[in-house]
């Protein structure tokens, strides 16, 4: 990016840290919802720089991490047993299902291809009219417009061999579920800037009003994150609760109206199961009835085998902010990126992966 360096400026970072130390008089717990924010905090060493009273709690904002085992098992079954060309983002390949991962299924001969866009999968369907092509549609609101567009394009092209396996989840219902949890320790939130780039800000006002919590939309660079934390702390110290937008250079109040309209025309909200967390009301995007011919679950039916969660994996507690990754007994021992027990260890947005790759706490743990 042309102006990236100014958001990593050491003097700006030092100034923001100085302001934080000056205004912080009480202990505060702030949750960054997005896994990209978690990686920014850990990779740049921000967690170690914060004043002693400020604790960052890592939220469930990693779509790969919260994709249910049943969806992974169904994707594997489609590729192995239905002769489907399964297209997926690369992050999904090493996430454990109940029996194996997509990568292991590919080693067994399944036709599983890594895509950067669902529109590539539409092209593959067009080029392979005798094969069924399914795109594993994982993501938050950020990736939903492209997945919706792929369905619209497939319909316009008259493609009968393209479908998506939708595992889309939504951020605001997840925040509400966290606030409804009796064990929650969260005093304020950093909301994901890229989600708000698409959806705008309107969905967060009711959350702020109902639960009386500060919510600040931020970017992902050190200056973005520190400024967002400072904005939250200033509100908390004054006993205020407002929605603020730190990421104004990218996020507009109304978001991307065309993208939002496209999402709503193709998808509808329903209850969704989150891996390690459970069902969250109205937290998933499902294809509307008029597009059900492009729904892989309608076309092929649900997975025949019953999915079983890895009971030893504590990813649910990590994603709900109840423990840090290094507090899991499997972290860095029986659970590593090469041999993951749970999804947060292999996803590029997973908190466990962030700690494993960048955290000084992990390095200290290795030296013990």
The pLDDT of residue 294 is above 70: yes
Q: What is the pLDDT of residue 302?
A: 76
- Domain contains 38: yes
Decide: 152 and 158 in contact? Cβ < 8 Å.
no
Please state, in angstroms and rounded to a whole number, the distance separating the CA atoms of residues 344 and 65: 5
- Domain contains 292: no
Owning domain of residue 194 = 4-62+181-245
Q: What is the pLDDT of residue 29?
A: 97
Please state, in angstroms and rounded to a whole number, the distance separating the CA atoms of residues 39 and 309: 25
CA distances from 119 to 15, 115, 290 (A): 44, 9, 20
- Domain contains 204: yes
The pLDDT of residue 59 is above 70: yes
Mean pLDDT for the stretch of residues 182-207: 96
The pairing of strands 162-169 and 278-287 is antiparallel
Total residues found in the chain within this entry = 368
- Domain contains 8: yes
Average pLDDT, the chain: 92
CATH number, domain with residue 35:
3.40.50.11750
Decide: 208 and 1 in contact? Cβ < 8 Å.
no
Number of domains, the chain: 1
Q: What is the pLDDT of residue 310?
A: 64
CA distances from 14 to 10, 23, 36, 44, 260 (A): 6, 14, 22, 13, 38
The pLDDT of residue 365 is above 70: no
- Domain contains 32: yes
- Domain contains 210: yes
Please state, in angstroms and rounded to a whole number, the distance separating the CA atoms of residues 124 and 121: 5
Please state, in angstroms and rounded to a whole number, the distance separating the CA atoms of residues 347 and 192: 17
Q: What is the pLDDT of residue 304?
A: 67
Decide: 337 and 353 in contact? Cβ < 8 Å.
yes
R_g (Cα) of the chain, nearest Å: 21
pTM: 0.92
Tens of pLDDT, residues 200-245: 999 999 999 999 999 999 999 999 999 999 999 999 999 999 999 9
- Domain contains 217: yes
- Domain contains 50: yes
Side-chain half-sphere CA neighbours of 9 within 13 A: 10
Burial of 288 (0-12, 13-18, 19+ CB in 10 A): middle
Q: What is the pLDDT of residue 364?
A: 44
Decide: 352 and 328 in contact? Cβ < 8 Å.
yes
Q: What is the pLDDT of residue 7?
A: 84
Which DSSP helix (H) or strand (E) runs through 142?
none
């Amino acid at each position: 990016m042309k102006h990236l360096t100014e958001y990593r400026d050491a003097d700006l970072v030092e100034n923001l840290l100085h302001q934080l130390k000056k205004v912080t008089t009480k202990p505060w717990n702030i949750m960054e919802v997005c896994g990209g924010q978690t990686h920014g905090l850990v990779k740049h060493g921000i967690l170690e720089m914060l004043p002693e009273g400020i604790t960052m709690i890592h939220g469930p904002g990693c779509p790969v991490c919260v994709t249910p085992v049943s969806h992974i098992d169904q994707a594997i079954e489609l590729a192995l047993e239905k002769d489907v060309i399964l297209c997926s983002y690369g992050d999904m390949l090493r996430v454990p299902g109940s029996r194996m991962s997509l990568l292991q299924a590919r080693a067994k001969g399944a036709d599983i291809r890594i895509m950067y866009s669902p529109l590539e999968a539409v092209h593959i369907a067009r080029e392979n009219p005798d094969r069924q092509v399914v795109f594993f549609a994982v993501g938050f609101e950020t990736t939903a417009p492209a997945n919706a567009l792929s369905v619209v394009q497939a319909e316009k092209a008259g493609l009968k061999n393209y479908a998506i396996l939708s595992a889309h989840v939504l951020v605001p219902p997840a925040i509400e579920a966290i606030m409804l949890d009796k064990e929650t320790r969260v005093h304020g939130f950093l909301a994901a800037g890229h989600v708000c780039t698409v959806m705008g800000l309107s969905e967060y006002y009711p959350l702020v009003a109902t639960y009386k919590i500060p919510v600040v939309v931020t970017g992902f660079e050190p200056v973005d994150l520190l400024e967002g934390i400072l904005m939250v702390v200033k509100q908390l110290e004054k006993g205020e609760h407002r929605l603020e937008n730190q990421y104004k250079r990218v996020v507009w109040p109304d978001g991307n109206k065309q993208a939002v309209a496209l999402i709503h025309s193709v998808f509808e909200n329903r209850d969704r199961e989150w891996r390690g967390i459970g069902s969250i009301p109205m937290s998933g995007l499902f294809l509307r009835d008029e597009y059900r011919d492009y729904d892989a679950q309608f076309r092929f039916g649900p997975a025949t085998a019953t999915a079983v969660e890895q009971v030893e994996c504590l990813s649910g507690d990590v994603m709900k902010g109840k423990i840090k990754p290094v507090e899991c007994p499997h972290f860095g021992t029986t659970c590593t990126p090469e041999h993951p027990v749970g999804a947060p260890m292999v996803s590029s947005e997973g908190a466990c992966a962030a700690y494993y790759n960048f955290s000084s706490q992990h390095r200290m743990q290795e030296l013990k």
